[in-house]
Structure 1
Amino acid sequence: MIIFYDGNCPLCAKEMRSLKRADAHNKIKLEDINRDDFESRYSYIKREDAMAFLHGQRDSGEMLYGLDVTFAAWQTVGRHSWLKLLQLPIIRFCADIGYWLFAKYRKQVTTLFCTSRCGIK
């Protein structure tokens, strides 16, 4: 599985570090969408779209978006099984809205709520 994430977002980067620590079998590849060569290596993903919403790709080539990426990633490493609750219809609807708001305002959220433990000085 590949996760395309915003490495300039301290909260996002922290989540990816946690995920990789849990990835004992190296099943997840992380790709920072801010790298200069990102669009040439992944021409089928527009950086602007990936900045707006988390993108992931299964080994089969299937694309995932938003919370589906988070769910699949933690499922892949065998952690946070409680996230399956996010797949329940009414919870999924609310969680998708919450995720969309977080993704849109992640810089402001990070500034307000993230302390030095997220890597912000």
Structure 2
Amino acid sequence: MTSQPTTQLCVWYDGDCPVCRQEVALYSRIDRKQRIAWIDIVALADDELPAGKSRTELLGRFHARKRNGPWQIGVDAFAAIWDQLPVLRRLAFLFRTPGIRQLAELGYRGFLEWQRRHRAQRETAA
């Protein structure tokens, strides 16, 4: 099994999702010091998945983790990403603020539903 890269934060994302790819590209341009390792879940072999995580689970919600630290999932993963990016760091607290966090979570769940429908369409077309 492949171990987690040694960068400060690892983020697992859906490389088949066009919105996700665009977002990762944007964050990568901002992350000039490469504080974040972006890991395309779709490109991983089964034995390269993180211990205790299935591909389905990782594709179900955004996952981030500092080396050997706790998992940050969903909106918490976005906060972890923003914490690493100087231009967004001061706004990361928004994802941790009651009320705003819940609204962000609702928006994220809506996006996930849209993404699931489009994934099913892509798989049917393939």
TM value normalised by structure 2: 0.76
Aligned length: 109
Structure 1 segments, 4+ long, off by >6 Å, are: none
Partner of 1:29: 37
> Do residues 16 (structure 1) and 16 (structure 2) align?
no
Partner of 2:106: 97
Q: Does the 8 Å contact 1:52/1:104 carry over to 2?
A: no
Structure 1 residue 22: deviation in Å?
A: 1.1
Go from structure 1 to structure 2 and tell me whether the alpha carbon gap of 1:43 and 1:59 turns closer, same or farther (over 3 Å shift): closer
Query: Within 5 A, what are the aligned runs for 1:30-69?
Result: 30-37=38-45, 39-41=46-48, 42-69=50-77
* 1:26 aligned partner, one-letter code: Q
CA distance in 1, matches of 2:10, 2:44: 18
After superposition, the C-alpha distances for 1:34-74 in whole angstroms (9 at most, x for unaligned) are 0141x312232211111111111112422100111112112
Q: Distance in 2 between matches of 1:94 and 1:21?
A: 27
Asked if structure 1 preserves the Cα contact closer than 8 Å seen for 2:11 and 2:39, the reply is yes
CA distance in structure 1 between the partners assigned to 2:108 and 2:63 by the alignment: 13
Question: What value does the CA root-mean-square deviation take over the aligned residues?
Answer: 2.0
1:63-109: CA deviation from partner (whole Å, max 9, x where unpaired): 10011111211220212233422321111112112111212222657
**Higher RCO (CA < 8 A, seq sep 6+):** 1
